[in-house]
Amino acid sequence: MGNAMKLAGVAGLAAVVAGGGCAAYAFSDTVKNQVKMRLDDPQEYFEWVCEKNIADMADCAGASWQRTADLAAQKKAVQYAVEFTPTDAVKSELNDSISDATSDFNEALRQIVANTDTIGFRTEGSLSGNGAAAALSLLVNGDSVLSSDVIMNIESDVFGVRIPELTTRWFTVDTAELDGASFLNEQNYIRFAMNPSDYVSAAEVSDFVTQIMTAAVAELPEPTLEKSVPVTVADMEADYTAFTLHITEDDAMRLDNALMSQLREDNIIRRLYVDQLGILSAEEYDEMLTKTAKHIDAYPGTDLTLYVDASGRILGTNAAAENGDKLFACAAADGTNVAFALSADETEHNVFSMNFRGTYDSVINGTLDATVCEKHYQFDSDADDYTYEYETQSLRADFSNVEITDKVLGLANGTIQVTIPEIDPFTVSLSNNGSTQEISTTVCDDGTAYGDLKISFGYNDSQLSTDPDLSDAVRFSKDNGKKLSDYVQKDAFITFMRNLLVKLGVEPELAEKLTASSANAVYFDREAFFEETERLAQERTEKAKADYEKEVSALEEEADARYAEKLEKLEEISNANQQKLDDFKAESDAALKAARENNQSEFDRMKQDIDAAAQEARDEFNQEAAETKEQIQQGSEEIEKQMKEIQEELKKLN
């Protein structure tokens, strides 16, 4: 939500909503509250209420931290387990989902499904003087079929793991060699979890809460006071004294600056984050505070109302921002009847609500209703913009005789009926034996029961060793290149896999076949494979070269023989053709000679004819030329005569 809701939450904490829940009703507190409310002015009364609730909250936080430290000091081992018992229908459905193709793998799957009545896992972890250790197990039909041990020794910088069914040897890594602040942080977290009080004491936690809350409250504006205000909490009516504060943007900035200043000057958080756990550097810590201070920029005005009960405890808050954001949280009690409500609105639309109404008298009975409303965005092409609509999810939980038997260990008994729309209702059963909590339910969907689910967690006094015998361990480092074959031999791995498959329900003969193939895959030596591949390739190359040279030599010999044979035949053909050519030439010469003789006589006769025709033509031409010359001569004389006559005529004219 927006800055309004963030600040409302901070201001609510400043007024110690949670702190009030840590204190019990007390007659003396009721008397003090009534006296203060009637005799002090509103501001003095408000300061007293805040001071009281801050003190209660600080005491509650310190006591909670001390309980955590005390539990850590007991060095108890933590156990978690999950177990699922499928119905026959589920097993049948799983069996049907296995491929119909005939193969050893598919047959093994069918045998495992048929053999499995329950399946789950169990983990156990503990912290000791020099590190952490954990044991994990895969459970089938209540028996462990596969397990793994893990250690992190923070003194010797060793991280180790082993599978006992495979080998008792450890496979270890020197964490100091690894590139990783993550392992260093993990080691710091382990040290912190083993002895939290060595890092921060309960008194320091209480002082920190007091300082932060006091600094925040000091910046809140002056409130107005209204007595006997009716408030509805999950259908229960309660009367509270109400303080209302109008928080402006300037108030928000002052409050934010006060909190950031307190965190910068505080030595506890900085020491823990920077010096002890190494989560942040000093520069990163200061940068984080600077960024946080920038989050309150455009803060809308907000009316914050705090609800105070008859003993002076703040049991509720209601924040209403000018932009429509709202936050309401309140608790109420009337004898054994109790109620709690929490709701948040975003721009006048409810996005979350939770209401509990019931009774509490050593056991809890009642109903919890919760709804969550989420925005779902989609693009509107017509508007060329994104639009959204709200989708609401709801839940109802009916508590029946729920008893908290150990608040420190989180142990309880009772039943909770859970109802979620479109999901089959289911019942959660809670039970414990004083050290282990068990949570169980039946998984159903659409009227079909799929099986029983059981979850358990608890503590015991056992201690897992974080310093086992590592004399024969295989130590991995960046330089030595250790691999699985250095850790356990292939034969041991084959035995391990075969036994595991048999435990899962696979027939021994089939397990033997599957194990061989899996071992070959796991122990695949990449370097040896490439060396062998290169050797075989070299052998094939040399053989191919020899075969090629032999084949080429045979082809050359065959080609030479065929060439000689063809050359001989060609020579025979050439000789025959030469004879034919000689015969043809002789015949041609004779024919040519006869042709020449015949042609010469014919030529002479044609020449005589041509000469005669030419002479006749010359004679005709000479005759025609003489006649033409005579005609020209006569024409010239006639022209000359006419010229003389013209000249005579001209003389006469002159």
Looking at the fold, whether 448 and 556 belong to one and the same domain comes out as: no
Domain that holds residue 80: 3-248+299-460
Looking at the fold, whether 454 and 552 belong to one and the same domain comes out as: no
Amino acid 307: pLDDT: 96
Q: Are 240 and 307 in contact (CB under 8 A)?
A: yes
Looking at the fold, whether 308 and 445 belong to one and the same domain comes out as: yes
**Could you tell me if residue 648 is inside a domain?**
no
Q: 3-state DSSP call for residue 186?
A: helix
**Could you tell me if residue 644 is inside a domain?**
no
Amino acid 23: pLDDT: 35
Looking at the fold, whether 530 and 428 belong to one and the same domain comes out as: no
3-state secondary structure 123-178: EEEEEECCEEEEEEEEEECCEEEEEEEEEEECCCCEEEEECCCCCCCCEEEECCCC
List all residues 6 or more positions away from 547 whose beta carbon is below 8 Å from its beta carbon: none
**Could you tell me if residue 481 is inside a domain?**
no
**How many whole angstroms from its chain centre is CA 187?**
26
Determine how β-strand 171-174 pairs with β-strand 474-476.
parallel
Q: Are 132 and 466 in contact (CB under 8 A)?
A: yes
What number of residues does the chain have?
A: 654
Amino acid 95: pLDDT: 87
Looking at the fold, whether 549 and 428 belong to one and the same domain comes out as: no
* Residue 353 phi, psi dihedral angles, 5° rounding: -150, 145
Give the predicted TM-score (pTM) of the model: 0.70
Looking at the fold, whether 324 and 425 belong to one and the same domain comes out as: yes
Q: Which of 432, 460, 488 is the last residue of a domain?
A: 460
Residue with tokens 């041991």: 492
> Within 426-522, where are the H helices?
484-487, 490-504, 508-522
Sign of the dihedral through C-alpha 438, 442, 445, 449: positive
Report how far residue 291's alpha carbon sits from residue 619's, in angstroms, rounded to the nearest whole number: 138
Question: What is the mean pLDDT, run by run of 10 residues, along the chain of 654 residues?
Answer: 41 36 41 53 87 94 92 88 93 86 86 94 88 94 95 87 92 73 68 88 92 90 92 94 91 85 82 84 85 66 92 92 90 94 86 94 95 83 79 93 91 94 90 94 85 93 86 78 70 90 94 82 61 73 84 80 77 76 73 68 69 70 68 68 70 67
**Could you tell me if residue 515 is inside a domain?**
no
DSSP, res 462: -
Looking at the fold, whether 213 and 74 belong to one and the same domain comes out as: yes
Residue with tokens 């909503």: 17
Structural domain tally of the chain?
2
Looking at the fold, whether 408 and 545 belong to one and the same domain comes out as: no
Determine how β-strand 131-140 pairs with β-strand 119-128.
antiparallel
Looking at the fold, whether 455 and 538 belong to one and the same domain comes out as: no
Q: How many CA atoms lie within 13 A of 408 on its CB side?
A: 15
* Residue 23 phi, psi dihedral angles, 5° rounding: -100, 145
Q: Are 413 and 406 in contact (CB under 8 A)?
A: no
Closest CA to 416 of 407, 403, 405, 406: 403
**Could you tell me if residue 34 is inside a domain?**
yes
Amino acid 526: pLDDT: 54
Looking at the fold, whether 91 and 227 belong to one and the same domain comes out as: yes
Read off the tokens for 7.
């600040």
Amino acid 319: pLDDT: 92
Q: Which of 460, 476, 494 is the last residue of a domain?
A: 460
**Could you tell me if residue 466 is inside a domain?**
no
**Could you tell me if residue 196 is inside a domain?**
yes
3-state secondary structure 404-438: EEECCCCEEEEEEEEEECCEEEEEEEEEECCCEEE
**Could you tell me if residue 290 is inside a domain?**
no
Which residue type occupies 265? E
List C-alpha distances in Å: 17 to 9, 307, 328, 602: 9, 9, 11, 150
CB atoms within 10 A of CB 360: 16
Q: Which of 460, 475, 510 is the last residue of a domain?
A: 460
Amino acid 595: pLDDT: 64
Looking at the fold, whether 327 and 424 belong to one and the same domain comes out as: yes
Closest CA to 218 of 20, 46, 3, 18: 46
Looking at the fold, whether 11 and 107 belong to one and the same domain comes out as: yes
Report how far residue 233's alpha carbon sits from residue 182's, in angstroms, rounded to the nearest whole number: 46
Report how far residue 132's alpha carbon sits from residue 187's, in angstroms, rounded to the nearest whole number: 9
3-state secondary structure 258-312: HHHHHHHHCCHHHHHHHHHCCCCCHHHHHHHHHHHHCCCCCCCCEEEEEEECCCC
